[in-house]
Structure 1
Amino acid sequence: MIISLENPQISASFSTKGGELQALESKQSNLKYLWNGDSNFWGKFSPVLFPIVGGLKEDTYFFDHQTYHLPRHGFARDRAFEAHKIADDEVLFLLKEDTESLKVYPFNFQLGLRYQLIKNTLRCSYEVLNTGAKDLWFSIGGHPAFSVPLKPGLKYDDYYLEFNQDKQLNVHQVTNNLIEEATAVIALTTEGKLPLNHQLFYQDALVLKDLKSNKISLKSDKDSHGFDFHFEAFPFFGIWAAKDADFVCLEPWCGIADGVHHDQELRNKEGIINLAPGKEWSQYWEVTIY
């Protein structure tokens, strides 16, 4: 089922499958800011990554002397959420544990995805509640894909990403979905710009553990339209596109794929969040379009 939101400036639509944002449009310019989900390249739009981010070593983790298996990025993106439309400009999607999830993830939880339209900004909030009697261990992250180019007639490499606090990116290599310890440096311009080109992502995502910026903007010297992507307190970040696809994913993560030397114990997973019974955790990112 598709849920639509709008205010005087922007409109957005979402699917109950995965609680996924699937469209974001300016009502002034009629520009579509989100990727179109072309399955020839990548058939998703903005999936939530839960209860893990990235891949597990051998798709396996250990918890309390038991062995469990999860696919890359977990299961929430493929589950049906309950939709609660709060207003014309706000919707809350909820997912809870069930018999199937408990087979692969032995925790009681409630995952909320709250979307709000605030003028020309879309805010996505993650709200995790521990509904069980034991500690909840989880990771979570965003994976929104934005259309590039935005303006007809322009090319992918007419655009760049502008970082508000970084002058270089220390990128961790990804090998078989696992994170290497060594980094490669990508220098930015003196203005903090990273020119986009498809070759940037031929080896996989740019995985960042020490990003200083809390805002990344998509801009072009040939286009007055773009957006600001704002995020706080996400310790990891990914930037990705499918090979030769006309989009870029900006991915704020609370959690990260296993390292190549990880012992596969869930409690020892890098970036894992530990939430006590009855407690709630929340975080958000937002995109402002213009």
Structure 2
Amino acid sequence: MYTLKNKQLHVGIQQKGVELCSIKNLENNKEYIWQANPEIWGSHAPNLFPIIGVLKDGQYKFKGSLYDMPKHGFIRNNDNLEVKNQTKTSITFILKSSEELSKIYPFKFEFELTFTLNGKTIEVTHLVKNLDNQTMYFQVGGHPAFNAPLFDNEAYEDYYLEFDQKLSLESYILAESGLVSNETKTITENDSKIKLSKDLFNEDALIFKDIPSKNVVLKSNKHGEILSVSYKDFKNLGVWAKPGAPYVCIEPWLGIADVEGTNQNIETKEGIITLGSEKDFSASYKISIA
């Protein structure tokens, strides 16, 4: 495990998939990141690239060829990211395209992920470099899971998410295949809060496209603000947990899973980012501990 530390926080990042696996508040000695109980959900905070969610039949088309791609892409569970540079409060990992990766992703690229600790805030920065002589197509996002409840004598139902404005939010419903359907359900009507409950995620993740709010706070009825996630660079937001599990994922996304009616062409995939030859792309989100 790689570590970042200052007087307020101790942050851990695991080698596999360079997942953020620990945020410990040194003031109260509490662990804020879900500890990946494999009997419930065996991840902490997957990094999503070059797709988000699932593809129809696990495949996409590019220039007449079909390519296989696992759910959420190939950074997750990847052991090949290397440290590019590190200080006490910052670390950058890099993954370069390879002959092996080209079998599932036919682009020459570099992907960098930087974690920066400043006070009680961790900034996660994604940098994508297109080293190819052709346009590159990708999506990128985060999937951090936070412990809820955090303190003794609390219940999951004591927790809620609060946005920085009142919203009327419709969530797109996922089909059993994991593809995004055209159906929606109303989550909030002119309200800034989503109350957590054990049945909130019975139909899988809440998916908010083009969400106007760019900051959400996890709060407890008994302890007030727990943490916040700000995501000004990201258009979409996912919120998820295994039903009944003691955590909640707050997921900034640039992209979305395939829609049911997809033609599987990556160039026209909903939410795809188009990056020209020799161009760079960067997007960051921040986690701030109260």
Q: TM-score range by the shorter chain?
A: over 0.9
Correspondences of 1:160-179 after superposition (within 5 Å): 160-175=160-175, 176-179=177-180
Verify: 1:55 aligned to 2:54, yes or no. Answer: yes
Distance 1:274 1:117 in 2: 30
Three-state SS of the structure 2 residue aligned to 1:44 is: coil
CA offset digits 1:35-68 (Å, max 9, x no partner): 0110111100011111100111111111001111
Distance 1:100 1:278 in 2: 21
Distance 2:76 2:166 in 1: 31
Change (3 A) 1:85 1:153: farther
Structure 2 unpaired stretches of 5+: none
- Which range moved further: 179-188 or 270-279? 179-188
Structure 1 unpaired stretches of 5+: none
Change (3 A) 1:33 1:188: farther
Shift of 1:282: 0.4
CA offset digits 1:59-90 (Å, max 9, x no partner): 11110011111111111112121023421000
Three-state SS of the structure 1 residue aligned to 2:183 is: strand
Change (3 A) 1:166 1:9: same
Three-state SS of the structure 1 residue aligned to 2:200 is: helix
Distance 2:190 2:154 in 1: 22
Distance 2:143 2:170 in 1: 20
Native 8 Å contact 1:90 1:114 kept in 2:
yes
Shift of 1:133: 1.8
> Percent identity between the aligned chains?
35
Shift of 1:233: 2.8
Distance 1:189 1:146 in 2: 26
CA offset digits 1:223-257 (Å, max 9, x no partner): 14501111113111110001211110011111111
Verify: 1:28 aligned to 2:27, yes or no. Answer: yes
**Matched residues, number:** 288
Three-state SS of the structure 2 residue aligned to 1:198 is: coil
Distance 1:49 1:228 in 2: 20
Native 8 Å contact 1:125 1:282 kept in 2:
yes
Distance 2:235 2:93 in 1: 24
RMSD: 1.2
Distance 1:287 1:38 in 2: 22
Shift of 1:96: 1.2
TM-score, length-scaled by structure 1:
0.96
Distance 2:153 2:94 in 1: 40
Three-state SS of the structure 1 residue aligned to 2:71 is: coil
Shift of 1:165: 2.2
Native 8 Å contact 1:16 1:83 kept in 2:
no
